[in-house]
Amino acid sequence: MGNRDYRLVYVTTGPFLLTIPSFVIDCMIKDRVDALPREVISRLLSRHVLVDSDEPEVKDELKHIEDASKDKSHRIFALMPTSLCNMHCSYCGQVTCPLHFDGRVSAGVDARVLAAIENPKTRYVEVRWYGGEPMMAYHRILASSGRYVSSADRQHVRYWSSMSTNGSLMTVDRLQALYDEARLRNVTVTVDGYGDCHNRSRLMRSGRPTYDFIMNLLQRIAGKQSDFTQLLVNIRINITAANAPSISQLFDDMSARGMNEDNFNIQLIPVYDWGQDNSAMKLSKATLDRLMPQLIRQALHLGLHTGVFPSARRDVACIAVNQQAELIDSRGSLYSCTEFPLVKPYEENDILANVLNLNSAALRPMGRYDGWIGRLEDASVACSRCTFLPVCGGACPKRWQESIHPCPPFTRQLSERFNIAAEQWGMTSITDPSDDQKSLKS
């Protein structure tokens, strides 16, 4: 006890996870900060645990979010070079079709990305390759990327790309080409549980199973870490009632295959309604709140990497609230939200423009959710009073508008996640696990 008592503190404005002596926390709770040594106060200030202003911190946060959403130095293009997908996943509401960028659309898309790169205000350009399945347009991606990378290098603009892929058409050689020629720095591959659990949920249209293919690929990538030093590999696991029992076995398999390299990261995402009603597949919140911390604990125990708490700020919730960001589908139609293309009725109702008739240097027109950040200032909106706003950004405006609370699961699992963080740091809990203000003994 005594000065060996600490509390873990998650400072969302950092974000930082800190251990702070309990007597310091007690002074803060009792409003007796003046009793603390000056150097302690100054360290608390430097880590944003204390602020030297009477203004509510949320005001600063809202200003920060608004400024970030108007930051003209960072342009984001989510591109769907094809609407085709070779899988037919059980929870996907996309109505895919064989359309892809034709010559005119491709030229229009290139013109927009190149105009952004050449704009003197631009310092960063990020292209996110989406689909359908983007690897069905692999050669188009390489061709366009070559133009973007050359122009960015000439203009001294930092350029990088990311891709969400089902992995079925990826090979190590293709990944290497994307890494070298398309500056691919972040790839997300979905694996929905172990073996046949994955195969049942993520069906190939041909009926071919993909678990072994994708896991063998990921294993080879993990073994070639030195060739992909700047690539983050996200393994996304969509949690459903059907696959939840097999995720533990998936982790064992991942560990056995060496996927505990530093550039591998596991994302646990409870399934929600992606363009269709998935309620029959969802686990209850209570079950998720028991299961997710167990899985995180197991993953970390095996040396796999996954976040206990968000480790970065989320200044802008998503592309739908940032006019410097846009999505262009395979027909050249511009949208603001990634869940509009290929999903009815948004696909037709929420087209903002087309690359064939919009000035390539103009920002996209305002979309359905561009006013969302302004609404955050309204005290009746939950996010405007929320401690987690700096690391959550207000989550998904589409879901808020559809009256679905999109708060991330970690916000309901604080006690267990603090316990996991404490275990990681070799600390032992000395209080009831249901207590969110956890005291810990080193």
Residues at the contact surface with ligand SF4, assessed by CB under 6 A: 318-320, 337-339, 369, 382-383, 386, 388-389, 392, 394-398, 406-407, 411
Q: Which of 194, 188, 234, 203 is nearest to 92 (CA)?
A: 203
Q: Cβ(211)–Cβ(243) under 8 Å?
A: no
Q: Minimum distance between the CB of residue 318 and ligand SF4, rounded to whole angstroms?
A: 3
Q: Minimum distance between the CB of residue 321 and ligand SF4, rounded to whole angstroms?
A: 7
Q: Minimum distance between the CB of residue 337 and ligand SF4, rounded to whole angstroms?
A: 3
Provide the residue type at 336 as one letter: S
- Record the tokens describing residue 30, joined without a space: 């009792």
Question: Would you say 62 or 157 has its CB closer to ligand SF4?
Answer: 62
Question: Would you say 108 or 397 has its CB closer to ligand SF4?
Answer: 397
- Record the tokens describing residue 357, joined without a space: 């008739």
Question: Would you say 141 or 391 has its CB closer to ligand SF4?
Answer: 391
Alpha carbon distance 352, 320 (integer Å) = 12
Q: Cβ(133)–Cβ(116) under 8 Å?
A: no
| Enclosing H/E stretch for 439 | strand 439-441
Question: Would you say 266 or 389 has its CB closer to ligand SF4?
Answer: 389
Give, as one character, the DSSP assignment of residue 427: -
Contacts for 403 with CB less than 8 Å, ≥ 6 apart:
none
Q: Minimum distance between the CB of residue 220 and ligand SF4, rounded to whole angstroms?
A: 31
Q: Minimum distance between the CB of residue 379 and ligand SF4, rounded to whole angstroms?
A: 13
- Record the tokens describing residue 215, joined without a space: 């896991």
- Record the tokens describing residue 127, joined without a space: 């292209």
Question: Would you say 228 or 372 has its CB closer to ligand SF4?
Answer: 372
Q: Minimum distance between the CB of residue 28 and ligand SF4, rounded to whole angstroms?
A: 22
Question: Would you say 213 or 346 has its CB closer to ligand SF4?
Answer: 346
118: left (phi over 0), alpha (psi -120 to 50) or beta: alpha
